[in-house]
Amino acid sequence: MKIGFIGLGVMGKHMARNLSRSGYDVTVYDINASAVETFRREGMQTAPDVQALAAQSDVLITMVPNSPQVKEVLLGEKGAIHTLRRGSVVIDASSINPVASREVAAALAEIGVEMLDAPVSGGEPKAADGTLAFMVGGKQEIFDRCRELLSHMGSSVVRCGDIGAGNVTKLCNQIIVAVNIAALSEALTLGQMTGVDPEAVFGAIRGGLAGSTVMNAKAPMMMDRDFQPGFRIDLHIKDLNNVLDAAKTVDAPVPLTAQVMEMLKNLHKDGMGSLDHSAIVRYYEKLSGQEIHR
């Protein structure tokens, strides 16, 4: 099985490497020539462009920023749709609007190509160690065919429904993550302002009902002032934009999402868009005049 991988950014570079280390025949491409050159120096196969890669791939995986990039890579004038072979499969691991996933899948179906939308959760650390959570939409038989492949990049691979369901589930995931980080920031700020060490607050509640994977990952980053991006604020803004668009389509109430979105946009305006989303705590620090620390 020949695997093509498009998108060698923060997440994709690790995912492609994990597939190669697992013994798959992987060829990579990215619009960033230096990223491709890094893989070439590591001894991996590289392609000169999207169409050349698509022409040789049994499974083509895309991991790019958002809906416009997915459409350009797959359906654009120089897109994969012009060279993909009938019977091949596209797996889009990008986090995009589910409406776009369905549009792309419909276009690919016209040339006999199947598609799964398979966005991930876990950030760069879990991409690096191959323990991402995949939320997948698509036909059951295509999911069954690709499940083992995905399992070499993630420890959880769950089919959520037909095409688009993966990205709907990812949007739900991003609501929960964003609101959790905001609530954690609010709680640690309150604790410190009332004289209780944030580390003591974290240590006391992490094992109870309020404990979460989000808390375990982000509280230490906040207290250590470590905002190196595992998942950038600007990317979370992109995801919450997609949440708000999808919610508007079906008239779903999302007031908490809208509030956290305003926090993220405020941070972006203050030049923090490239920081990790744990930097939501800095929104509270700006309001309170208190810097969270151990």
- Give the separation between CA 167 and CA 136, rounded to whole angstroms: 8
Report how far apart the first and last C-alpha atoms of the chain are (Å, whole number): 50
Q: Are strands 154-161 and 89-92 parallel, antiparallel or unpaired?
A: unpaired
- Give the separation between CA 162 and CA 121, rounded to whole angstroms: 19
- Give the separation between CA 90 and CA 105, rounded to whole angstroms: 9
DSSP H/E element including 151: helix 140-151
| Alpha carbon 96 to chain centroid, angstroms | 9
Residue 208: CB atoms within 10 A of its CB come to: 7
Q: Print burial letters for 45-66: b (CB count within 10 Å at least 16), e (below 16).
A: bbbeebbbbbbbbebbbbbbeb
Where do runs of H (alpha helix) occur along 152-212?
Answer: 165-193, 198-205
Residue 236 region, left (φ>0) first, then alpha (ψ -120 to 50), else beta? alpha
Could you confirm whether 170 is annotated as catalytic?
Answer: yes
Q: Are strands 25-29 and 45-46 parallel, antiparallel or unpaired?
A: parallel
- Exactly one of 13, 126, 170, 238 is catalytic; name it: 170
| Alpha carbon 119 to chain centroid, angstroms | 6
**Active centre residues (catalytic):** 170
